Chain A
Amino acid sequence: MTYASAAEIDARQERATRVFDTLRGDARTWLFLVPALLFFIGYQAYPIIRVIWISFTDYQYLTNEPANWVGLANYAAALSDPLMWVSLWRAALFTILFLPGCIILPLILAILIDRISNPYLATVYRVILLIPAVIPSTLVFVLWKWMYNFQSGPINHFLVNTTGWFELQNAPQWLGGTALTLPAIAAMEVWWGLGYHTIFFLAGLAAIPKDLPEAARIDGANEWQLFWHVTLPRLMPIMMILVVLRFGTAMAVIDEYLIFGGFNRDSPTYTWTIFMYDQAFKLGLWRQGYAAAIGMIGSIAMMIVMILLLRIFRTRG
């Protein structure tokens, strides 16, 4: 280790006193920030740092033995476990099923609603659109657990009793870890976000100056060209934000899988988040060191993709 030169120490001390003065001078300002920072540090920053630390140890929650530093052993073990890769792929598969619908449907709906000129009707549509967004998450899941119920759900009732397309014996088993579970959850998520995302796009459409499409029409552009060359480029920024944000939420889904899938390792809902939860709170002596490593691998994998997406979108403007 090299030692800092005298000048560097002086500079550092000077900086330290300056920081101290700043803190004292801004004490009243920081008083306003203290409540928020207490919660933010106590229940977000510290837990994450702690999880990073225990991911390098053999920490097991239900033993009294102190945690030992094991370096990258947990990461190596997780990466050589096929379940890690399968569970990551399952999360990615869900994201692939969910993302297109959650962007394209709201886009279409927003363009249609934007042309409604009756202000009363426009308000009614907007209120209906946001109703699913104000239903708390768990209640959305309870609702759809019921919609998808094998025996008593209205969807299967429609498929078996109303239309007769299926017999009771071969009616689709939507939930509980079948091949249909991920698409079913994705459809539910699209339903949930449909209104909220449409409102997002409507805000973007409202920001397009009205004379722009008119000028294009005068120049002889048809509706399709108008959409492709005028509307869509203007909506691109909003679309990119939505893609990145929704990619993040879709990769890290956990509540839905806990409610609809359980802890069966063969279930397509057994993604990296459930893998982590299973190891941390269910199996054996709660191998939280290993669970933390799983969580970090999942988080880092999705962060890399998110940064890549941001890069791609930024270079495109």
Chain B
Amino acid sequence: MAVADIASAGTESMPRQSWFTRNLAVILRHGIINFFMIVILLPLAWVLIMSVKSRPDAMRGDFWPRKFDFTTYGYVFQKIETLPVNMWNSIYVTAGTVLLTTVCAVLAGYALVHMRPRGGGIVVAALLASLYFPTRVVSIISIYEIQNSLGLINSTMGLILPYVTLNLAISILIMRSVFQLVPHEVIEAAKVDGAGPWRTLLTIALPMARNGLVVIFIVNFVTAWGEFLLCSTLTNDQEARTMPVVLAGAQGGLGQWTWPNLAAVYMIVVMPGIIAFTFAQKLFFKGLAEGVVKG
């Protein structure tokens, strides 16, 4: 792609100077950009290739293997006993968190903009303040106590409760600025037509806030899927933990965690997010512009 761009730039020829001098700025620009792109992609590419390396190649450490071995992906699910459990933990904890946070953020964001509750300003101020305070770090002391009094220590399902708050404030603020783009007149018109607040929200406002919804979906998915501090503090057993936390504790190269095994599990855990984002990127960028930059 970059090469094509350079080549097309070269056809608008100016005589006298050589092709190289004329396009020096363009070449330099693409060179630097592509250098950064490689820096971003290289670590991931390295793990991807590691996951399909044969064992001797993995030991050798060269980037490109002499022999490929695609059986590792099936192998890890059979041989690493807690793996299906950890995957399932990750899936339902993340799903629960994303669902609850989205519902809370949509309702609160909508109410703050279009129902104008008195005291709404205080809510917004409190949400903003929580973004500037290291809430996540300091509150862990008391969250342990709360979970213990609810009998939720070592409970995977119980993780959903504190997880919801991880991005709650920012999600509400994003939905708030997205709903601000929905004109008040539209909402008033629906009210005049006899639609209650629930119907107005679900059939009129929410479809218009679709892009913002994609943003908070992805943001919450990423946070919940990779949460470490709460999960490692509030659970003790490997069976109760989510996949990334198990991976973080895995001693690479030893026992069941041979490098290709670790790489295969890593790719299984990291790919859903990347694939989902690649497909939703158009909506995501639109939502980002509506919710974050303007908000």
Contacts and interface: CB of A to CB of B under 8 A. Distances in A.
Interface in B227-263: 227-229, 232-233, 244-245, 247-248, 250, 252-253, 259, 262
Contacts of B162: 43
B254 to A, nearest CB: 11
Contact of A121 (B2, B32, B136): B2
Interface residues of B, number: 91
Given A26-B117, A109-B33, A141-B248, A36 B228 contact: no
Nearest to A26: B117
A39 B274 contact: no
B274 A134 contact: yes
Contacts of B105: 36
Interface stretch (A75-83, A169-177, A295-303): A295-303
B132 interface: yes
B117 A254 contact: no
Contacts of B274: 131, 134-135
A91 to B, nearest CB: 10
A65 to B, nearest CB: 15
Interface string A127-158: 11111111111111111111101011010010
B44 to A, nearest CB: 7
A283 interface: no
Contact of B197 (A32, A125, A255): A32
A115 interface: yes
A36 to B, nearest CB: 4
A134 B218 contact: yes
B33 A125 contact: yes
B214 interface: no
A182 interface: no
Contacts, number: 257
A45 B138 CA distance: 11
B228 A137 contact: yes
B235 to A, nearest CB: 13
Contact of B138 (A32, A195, A296): A296
Candidate in A48, A138, A146, A280 with the most chain B CB atoms within 10 angstroms: A138
Contacts of A120: 1
28 contacts: A30-B117, A32-B108, A33-B107, A33-B117, A35-B108, A37-B123, A39-B104, A39-B168, A44-B130, A45-B126, A47-B139, A51-B139, A51-B142, A109-B32, A112-B29, A121-B1, A127-B277, A131-B277, A138-B226, A139-B226, A141-B228, A143-B266, A154-B63, A200-B293, A258-B232, A281-B144, A291-B141, A299-B133
Interface of A: 22, 26, 28-30, 32-33, 35-37, 39-40, 42-48, 50-51, 54, 61, 105, 108-109, 112-113, 115-116, 118, 120-121, 123-147, 149, 151-152, 154, 157, 161, 191, 194-195, 199-200, 203-204, 248, 251-252, 254-255, 258-259, 273, 276-277, 280-281, 288, 291-292, 295-296, 298-299, 302-303, 306
